[in-house]
Structure 1
Amino acid sequence: MSRNGCSGKSGHWGHEGVSRRQALQVGAIGILGLGTNHLTGLREAYAANGVTPHGKAKSCIFIFLSGGLAQHESFDMKPEAPENIRGEFRPAATKTPGLQICEHLPMLAERSNSWALCRSLTHNINEHSAAHHVMLTGHSELPTGFSPNTPSRTDRASIAAIAGYATQARNNLPTSVVLPERLVHSSGRIVPGQHAGNMGSQHDPWMIEASPFHSTSYGAFPEYHFDHQDRGKPDDRLFEAPQLSLPEGLGMRDINGRLALLETLKHQRQQLAQYEKVANFDRLRQGAVSLMTQSSVHEALNVTQADEKSLERYGRNSFGWSLLMARRLVTAGVNLIQVNLGNDETWDTHGNAFPHLKNNLFPPTDRALSALLDDLQSTGELDETLIVVAGEFGRTPQITLLEKHYKQPGRDHWGAAQSVLFAGGGIKGGNVVGKTDAHGAYPAEQPVKPENFAATIYNALGIPATAAWLDAQDRPHHIYDGEPIAGLS
């Protein structure tokens, strides 16, 4: 698929000369999930018809805060509310007159002219896994047969998968990646909503797994890791350049153990040579694999060995390394990068909320996100890169204490209101869209749904409102289920 819409009546994808079958072919994921098969032919067809991309952004960095960021402790503080609602933190002024955010996000406050807020995103789900599906796919309603415990191919496709399908590959790179880890529950089950769902596994985003799983340690290791319930299990994880795996169907999807990157690539090239004898891989697919052996790609992924200045600005921890990796992948030409700042439920501050946010979560996030904004601004890439920061839901207005598990209070799950940060890609900095009531419980002005959130990303990336993805039976499924959020640009 390209950025130029689908017309179900004409049987063509946007314009004469580009058939729906051709559009389906460009959506087919090739080696390494790169989506480059037949791309040259489709681009030539579009060029012949004078079609040009829409949208302001070439790339999007979707920063996901699994667990749910408390709006009262971050971007929608209620200092006039009763003590059991307003919490311990105090608002602080930003560079934008009249705009205040949490006192523990000082670096972002200094850069408020670069970002905007939507304070009125709302849905009705208060359970983690279901809410992940809602926000990661941009659909308020759960699909028939949905199970929070088991991802299914009847689930809806993630925003990352849709964006990967619906945008053109650049430099033979993946159109969509997720890093530094997939979201895994402490029990070991995969959280639903991260993959291509009913689009099929061939459209799954490319997973860059640089952060090993730990069942009880959360946050920006090694500097800021913590345990929500202080269970005392050691965390000796290493953040390292990932092994690159061929997609499902080539027998390489799940490789156990940590091999050196170059050795892994060498092995995969050997595997590819064997498969080439029995499968007719086209030139673009082979070229994509070759690209993965080039030093420029290695440099983008090997962030722990970055220069000292970059490491100091982003932070020597998994949050900083992840956003530095995303920043480099933008420059390399990846269209959508989803960055999970912490594994499943890292931001789930039921208890010990105020010390964990103040000491462990806000410092690395404030530093790394500010460095990302500065870097993209300095090179002019911020205008062409949409940055969004969201979780699966917000937190309850009332502060609670679960004495069985925590020594200090926190807040429960709350789908009815959350604050979302936007920057770059045509976003007007210092801007606030929407408003919640006096307790930060429900939208009081301009309620925004997950469908609007997803549409904002798609629209910024130049995907037209008429666009659709095609299933195995060549049936179109509309990508947009809402309008982009009004007032952000």
Structure 2
Amino acid sequence: MQIDSSISRRQLFQTCGVGVGKVALASLLMKGSAEASNVDVPASFATPQAPKAKRVIYLFMAGAPSQLDLFDYKPKLQELAGQPLPPSVIDGQRYAFIQPDAAVLAPQFPFAKHGQSGAELSDRLPHLANIVDDLAFVRSVHTDQFNHAPAQLLVNTGGPIPGRPAMGSWLSYGIGSEADDLPAFVVLNSGGALSGGASMWSSGFLPSQHQGVPFRSSGDPILHVGNPEGIDSRMQRKSLDLIADLNRRRYEVTKDPEIVSRINAYEMAFRMQSRAPELMDYSQESAETLEMYGAEPGNSAKGFANHCLLARRMAERGVRFIQVYHGGWDHHSNVAGGVKAQCQQTDQAAAALVSDLKQRGLLEDTLVVWGGEFGRTPMVEASAALGRSQGRDHHPQAFTMWFAGGGIRPGQTIGATDELGFHVTERPVHVHDIQATILYQLGIEHEKLTFNFAGRPFRLTDVHGKVVKELV
């Protein structure tokens, strides 16, 4: 089904260009047309069940965390360390860099079971270990792509090449926003450059008002919506009133609905200018909350922690889809040092986000997702003989993700891999299945939420995807 929002609004923002501030304003205008304050899913693409989640916080670990050193313990790798994998295991496989006869690399950290669920985690995740019974792990995720850019695009947009709408854009298009003064789809990045680039939060062929809006951690949170130097709020208000009066007079003459859209856009801009600074004002948070996250506003070294706290604040204010990117997980060498460093930056804040949402009563209708674009190989990519410490290559055949809240059934581990952590042996879950499940929890049937483009209907999951019923 193609949802027909106001033509005049669409035309207005198509002609306004694609500046981030303008996209943000257009996203705000969807509030009035979608009336989706309580996930009011149109019947044409609604699931049989009522929505379990109102919003999504997706913690995307760009670069691909090593599941074998974090979530999927394989004693057999310790036994075979230094030996090549059997040819029968690796026959016909493709790799980004290493050769198929590369030696096995043992798990780099000790593992232990935690909670009533008995979830097994590496000792690099002590904070996550404290909340395992609130989480659901899927160890059998797999993907079609083995290089970073296409794999990241596949997870975020459903396709391996640029041009497809992001998941957050589909949600903005389908069910709008709860907020009337913040964008429906917000992007936070604490990891620097991303292989998939800005295409991962692009609206693609959807109307541009559904594009993700990057928020900055310092200065104006959103570009191009702040007042120029010398213009204060009083002067701006008087200017807007004058412009609105002129526009209303012109509307009485032409009856052009596009003029009304312009008036609304100016008003929304004014409201968001007030809302965004309040959103970024961490002085409202207690010292205990900042300590729980490990957050330190203004300190870029604490970027992920700051963004997790900001994600919770956005969830409280009705942002529909909050995408938190954190790079640095691409460990082709020194996987032990790399995983240790990244867990020090992310483990505490990710666990705090789940706990904080839970204690505020937000977790039940906020779906939290954690994962990368693929996994890492059981074999070593670089050896000490080459002058580099040991690392792991890209591994699309199997990796782990975890989920919390939003109607997800916690305290379970779904799927399994073989004794080498190479192939999925139980309940395979494709990236498209993850996307279908996320939409399902929001009350959306992924096969029905479509947009006609280039002569055919498109959807987030393309022609694939099945809901992981065990997860929900």
TM-score of Structure 1 vs Structure 2, range by shorter chain: 0.7 to 0.9
Report SS of the residue matched to 1:483.
coil
Instruction: Choose the corresponding residue for 1:424, options 405, 411, 417.
Output: 405
Report SS of the residue matched to 1:339.
strand
1:167-246 pair list within 5 angstroms: 167-172=175-180, 173-180=182-189, 184-185=193-194, 190=197, 192-199=199-206, 201-210=208-217, 240-246=218-224
- Is the aligned partner of 1:361 residue 2:342? yes
Is the CA contact 2:417–2:425 (under 8 Å) kept in the aligned structure 1? yes
Moved more, 32-41 or 56-65: 32-41
Report SS of the residue matched to 1:104.
coil
Residues 341 and 270 (structure 1 numbering): CA distance in 2 closer, same or farther, change over 3 Å? farther
Identity in percent = 27
Is the CA contact 1:468–1:476 (under 8 Å) kept in the aligned structure 2? no
Instruction: Choose the corresponding residue for 2:118, options 95, 98, 106.
Output: 98
1:130-169 pair list within 5 angstroms: 130-139=150-159, 142=160, 146=161, 152=162, 155-169=163-177
Tell me the alpha carbon deviations over residues 294-321 of structure 1, each in whole angstroms, 9 at most, x when there is no partner: 35x4232244884422221111311110
Tell me the alpha carbon deviations over residues 220-253 of structure 1, each in whole angstroms, 9 at most, x when there is no partner: xxxxxxxxxxxxxxxxxxxx2544235xxxxx8x
Q: TM-score, normalised by structure 1?
A: 0.74
Match of 2:330 in 1: 348
Report SS of the residue matched to 1:439.
coil
Moved more, 31-40 or 90-99: 31-40
Structure 2, unpaired ranges of 5+: 14-21, 82-103, 248-257, 297-301
Report SS of the residue matched to 2:389.
coil
Match of 1:290 in 2: 270
Return the alpha-carbon distance in structure 2 between the equivalents of residues 467 and 420 of structure 1.
26
Match of 1:228 in 2: none
Report SS of the residue matched to 2:200.
coil
Q: RMSD between aligned alpha carbons?
A: 3.7
Residues 401 and 476 (structure 1 numbering): CA distance in 2 closer, same or farther, change over 3 Å? closer
Instruction: Choose the corresponding residue for 1:327, options 282, 298, 312.
Output: 312
Residues 274 and 321 (structure 1 numbering): CA distance in 2 closer, same or farther, change over 3 Å? farther
In the TM superposition, what is the alpha-carbon distance from 1:42 to its structure 2 partner? 5.0
- Is the aligned partner of 1:299 residue 2:278? yes
State how many pairs are aligned. 412
Is the CA contact 1:184–1:191 (under 8 Å) kept in the aligned structure 2? no
Tell me the alpha carbon deviations over residues 429-452 of structure 1, each in whole angstroms, 9 at most, x when there is no partner: 111111111111121111111111
Tell me the alpha carbon deviations over residues 48-76 of structure 1, each in whole angstroms, 9 at most, x when there is no partner: x9999931111100110010010101111
Q: TM-score, normalised by structure 2?
A: 0.76
1:468-487 pair list within 5 angstroms: 468-471=449-452, 476-480=457-461, 481-487=464-470
Residues 474 and 42 (structure 1 numbering): CA distance in 2 closer, same or farther, change over 3 Å? farther
Return the alpha-carbon distance in structure 2 between the equivalents of residues 78 and 322 of structure 1.
33
Instruction: Choose the corresponding residue for 1:445, options 401, 404, 426.
Output: 426
Residues 165 and 403 (structure 1 numbering): CA distance in 2 closer, same or farther, change over 3 Å? farther
Letter in 2 for 1:98: G
Report SS of the residue matched to 2:116.
coil
Return the alpha-carbon distance in structure 2 between the equivalents of residues 25 and 472 of structure 1.
20
- Is the aligned partner of 1:74 residue 2:70? yes
Structure 1, unpaired ranges of 5+: 1-5, 7-12, 14-19, 147-151, 211-239, 247-251
Report SS of the residue matched to 1:21.
coil
